[in-house]
Structure 1
Amino acid sequence: MAWLRTIVTACVLAAPALAQDAPKVPDSPEPPMTYERLGRILFALDENAQPAGTGFQLTISGVPMLVVTDRTADRMRAMVPLRPAEGLTAEDMMRMMQANFDTALDARYAVAKGRLWAVFIHPLSPLKKDQLISSLGQTVNIARTYGTLYTGGALQFGGGDSPGIQRQLIEELLEKGEEI
């Protein structure tokens, strides 16, 4: 149980830093997110976005993305295909699960239909505009950093393995630099 206490302590210590960067609560409540409102936001992010079935295809910062909705289940999913799942090693899977815990933030790595994906999944109606935009950015970031930093690009949630793994690269470079 010492391991659990260590993780909880690290998470509690990280919480004040996370709270400082939390988005401000708007003065007036936003309307519920709907397929139509989602579409307006996505078209503002990419004027070349295209409706696709119950969702949209768009490109954010050069990364193609599919956003799908399910009105009946009140859910949405933003997805970026990364690669075939075949050939993923145990080390790949472990690193992605570590990132899902602390650096991917609202985005996640997932496997479905024989592919590895960067995804953001959320109930549709309570989704806020800024939360959507931030999470789409995080999804693009974990797609871009797959195989390297595995990060959503914002904060890291404490108590995970990623900071030590990322620090390892710096230590290796510093060690190499000592020879110069």
Structure 2
Amino acid sequence: MKGLAMRRLMICLTLLAAPVFAQEREAAMTGERIEAILKAIDGEAVSCGIATELTIDDVPIMVIVDEPSDRMRAMVPIRSADGIAPEELQRMMQANFDTALDARYAVAQGRVWGVFIHPLSPLQREQLVSGLIQTVNLARSYGQAYTGGAQHFGGGDSNGIYRELLEELLKKGEEL
């Protein structure tokens, strides 16, 4: 149910936020600003150099910022890459094309990851939060819907839960 709610939330966020991104650009994102937003989202987030580890809704996330390359990456470990069936790998690649949205499935260092990768300086606060939520949803939906969120419709009681989570995370980082 949570996956369905996340998808609906992401559609709303995408439709509502697109004109805002075009009209009211925030200042360029920096590593310092991302760290402040992440620590506002999770008061127990830990930073070490270019990496910050935090938890959103019981899912661990690592965010790495590479300012010289103007890139950022949010990563959620999903499972070991050992023993992935060809059909499962194909399903992840299909999801990367149509349902993973801005997040992606990836394989690195012997693990399957959910990742959100974006140029750093043009990244907006809402895009960051949306990307984090999509990445969390990829991990949660692995083996089932393989989705970052907004591409599927459906009923259920969970929409309010994810709407509250998004609003809470955005509010925590509102001043940044």
1:138 Cα deviation from its structure 2 partner: 0.2
Larger Rg: 1
1:52 Cα deviation from its structure 2 partner: 2.4
Paired residue for 1:52?
Answer: 48
Give the unaligned 5+ runs of structure 2.
1-10, 154-176
Paired residue for 1:81?
Answer: 77
**Judging changes above 3 Å, is the alpha-carbon distance between structure 1 residues 39 and 119 closer, same or farther for their aligned structure 2 residues?**
same
Q: How many positions carry a matched residue from both structures?
A: 141
SS of the aligned residue for 2:130 comes to helix
Paired residue for 2:143?
Answer: 147
Paired residue for 1:25?
Answer: 20
1:123 Cα deviation from its structure 2 partner: 0.7
Q: Measure, in 1, the Cα distance between the counterparts of 2:143 and 2:83.
A: 14
For residues 28-52 of structure 1, the C-alpha deviation after alignment (integer angstroms, 9 at most, x for no partner) is 4200000111011111211111102
Out of 121, 127, 131, the residue aligned to residue 125 of structure 1 is 121
Shift >3 Å, 4+ stretches? 17-20
**Judging changes above 3 Å, is the alpha-carbon distance between structure 1 residues 20 and 146 closer, same or farther for their aligned structure 2 residues?**
closer
Contact 1:106 1:135 in 2 (8 A): yes
Paired residue for 1:113?
Answer: 109
Identity %: 55
1:22 Cα deviation from its structure 2 partner: 4.8
Give the unaligned 5+ runs of structure 1.
1-16, 157-162, 164-180
SS of the aligned residue for 1:154 comes to coil
Question: Residue type of the partner of 2:117?
Answer: I
Q: Measure, in 2, the Cα distance between the counterparts of 1:35 and 1:147.
A: 33
Question: Residue type of the partner of 1:51?
Answer: S
**Judging changes above 3 Å, is the alpha-carbon distance between structure 1 residues 22 and 91 closer, same or farther for their aligned structure 2 residues?**
farther
Please tell me the root mean square deviation across aligned C-alpha atoms, in Å: 2.1
Structure scoring higher RCO (CA < 8 A, sep ≥ 6) equals 2
SS of the aligned residue for 1:125 comes to coil
Question: Residue type of the partner of 1:116?
Answer: V
